Chain A
Amino acid sequence: EAGVAQSPRYKIIEKRQSVAFWCNPISGHATLYWYQQILGQGPKLLIQFQNNGVVDDSQLPKDRFSAERLKGVDSTLKIQPAKLEDSAVYLCASSPTSGIRYFGPGTRLTVT
């Protein structure tokens, strides 16, 4: 079974620039999550999709972060403009109805 795919794996940008991350979940998984993992901390949920609808975006900084999952399959997460404190690993995960999370390899973002 193919896992969750993410790209790019690494990204370095300057503050105030924009960046986008892409995620392709495991085939058949209706639920997709974006997490932010700051060094030394556990993953923090940014947004959860059920098919192409948003279930929970309560912790998404909506003034600068946006995400979409237009066709209910792959998803993009965008940051515009980036701040220094956005430096983190951005993890995408998907799950079947059981709710078990399957994580992708993550994108390590460094904002300078």
Chain B
Amino acid sequence: GENVEQHPSTLSVQEGDSAVIKCTYSDSASNYFPWYKQELGKRPQLIIDIRSNVGEKKDQRIAVTLNKTAKHFSLHITETQPEDSAVYFCAASTSGTYKYIFGTGTRLKVLA
């Protein structure tokens, strides 16, 4: 079945620096890749997503890149701020089933 690996499991950066989280998927039929942010004790919230027909998508300080050949996608956060501290989950999904397979999460700490 589909498997999604996510790295690193924890990441600490200084405020203002960039953070990169990487995910690898196994099912070449996957074509939708959302990223969720989960603050401590709160619900996961969608922050950005990308479909397989594009290679990059940006939304202010957040961007996601997709390499279909290598079957990996990455979340990039620039100019990090303390409020970016949270656990970030990637997921892979196939249209039709819309079944999400989540990664194991990355705990991001932004140090002031």
Residue of B whose beta carbon sits closest to that of A105: B43
Interface of chain B, helix or strand or loop or mixed?
Answer: strand
Interface of chain A, helix or strand or loop or mixed?
Answer: loop
- Please report the total number of A residues contacting B with Cβ < 8 Å: 21
Are B46 and A100 in contact (CB-based, < 8 A)?
A: yes
Q: Which of B12-20, B71-79, B92-100 forms contacts with chain A?
A: B92-100
Q: Determine which of B43, B89, B95, B97 lies in contact with A106 in the assembled complex, contact meaning CB atoms within 8 Å.
A: B43
Residues of A near any B CB (own CB < 8 A): 3-4, 31, 40-45, 48, 56, 91, 95, 99-106
Using C-beta atoms within 8 Å of the partner chain, give the interface range for chain B: 20 to 34
Q: Which residues of A contact B45 (CB under 8 A)?
A: 103
Are A40 and B100 in contact (CB-based, < 8 A)?
A: no
Task: Knowing that A99-B95, A105-B43 touch, tell me 19 more A-B residue pairs with CB under 8 angstroms.
Answer: A3-B43, A41-B104, A41-B105, A42-B4, A43-B100, A43-B102, A45-B100, A48-B99, A91-B43, A91-B44, A99-B98, A100-B46, A101-B34, A101-B46, A102-B46, A103-B43, A103-B45, A104-B43, A105-B42
